[in-house]
Structure 1
């Protein structure tokens, strides 16, 4: 027969298991479902002699560049991260209230060691159009590209400039 102390411990464990936790993300739910169907570690690449997923190169293709859009009093500043993209492969166009950044990249890697030969070519293209928080004067826009970061300075047209309104 269990003592009252053991019964209290068992109740505590049961309460721990049934206590609500954080909600699972859809990815965590899928992981749990797969764990039920397949033994743990079924998808480990090293098991089959393949390279680990984390060491595989991540091409720029299909990815959208990360951007910052800053609304200043007289201008709108747009910064875009374009790693591995050459300045000559970037095309920028604007309308009065949007900017489009297009680009492409091509990277070729070769490695030869004895009978072993590897050649990987990754290339990709992207197009990103951003709505701007005001109308801009495209004819006076400035663009700089340094260390994989594109920075656009787009002056606002007079009617789009931010104005302070006093409360009466």
Structure 2
């Protein structure tokens, strides 16, 4: 086995691992090493990023937010789901999308699947105040679209807090 075989080729990209040299015998330990690297890369894809489980990142579903003069439009891709599988709530400036994708195969059936199933939840802090009672949502072709109208009331302004230096008499205990 050469040192070249231990270098994690393509681990940070989707490039395939180079094949072995023609004259080198296939080592079961090298195969195990490569498969373990692939397994860890699948679980911890992207250093500093969100870990992935089963090919789906923890930030699933994928969301797109567009700010307009009227408010905010949020779209979420939910392939294979219907509106009955999804719950959408808004409370105190936070939009929550949750649901469950159920397996189509039963326990009695055997087969191969790369699809992922289970419960999911996505919490989105809204960038400005919206009129929660006027929010509308629609679901079509696996895409959830939410319209959140901008609130007419003035946005809450933060208060700046002055930072004072310590006074000499305050430092003695």
- Structure 2 length-normalised TM: 0.53
Give the superposition deviation at 1:74. 1.5
Partner of 2:81: 85
2:135–2:148 CA contact under 8 A, matched in 1: yes
Residues 61-72 of structure 1 mapped to structure 2, 5 A cutoff: 64-72=60-68
The number of residues matched between the two structures is 116
Partner of 1:108: 104
Give the superposition deviation at 1:158. 0.7
Q: 1:133 aligns with which of 123, 127, 131?
A: 127
Give the superposition deviation at 1:120. 6.5
Residues 25, 159 of structure 1: CA spacing in aligned structure 2 closer, same or farther, 3 A cutoff? farther
Partner of 1:75: 71
- Structure 1 length-normalised TM: 0.54
More helix by share: 1
Deviations 1:80-121 (Å, cap 9, x if unpaired)?
A: 0011122101101112422000010112237x9xxxx62578
RMSD: 4.0
Q: Does 1:156 align with 2:150?
A: yes
Residues 17-56 of structure 1 mapped to structure 2, 5 A cutoff: 27=12, 39=27, 42=31
Structure 2: tracts of 5 or more residues without a match: 1-8, 21-25, 36-53, 156-173
Structure 1 stretches of 4+ with a deviation exceeding 6 A read: 58-61
Residues 123, 26 of structure 1: CA spacing in aligned structure 2 closer, same or farther, 3 A cutoff? closer
More strand by share: 1
Give the superposition deviation at 1:26. 6.7
Deviations 1:52-90 (Å, cap 9, x if unpaired)?
A: xxxxxx686956100011111111100000111221011
Give the superposition deviation at 1:159. 3.0
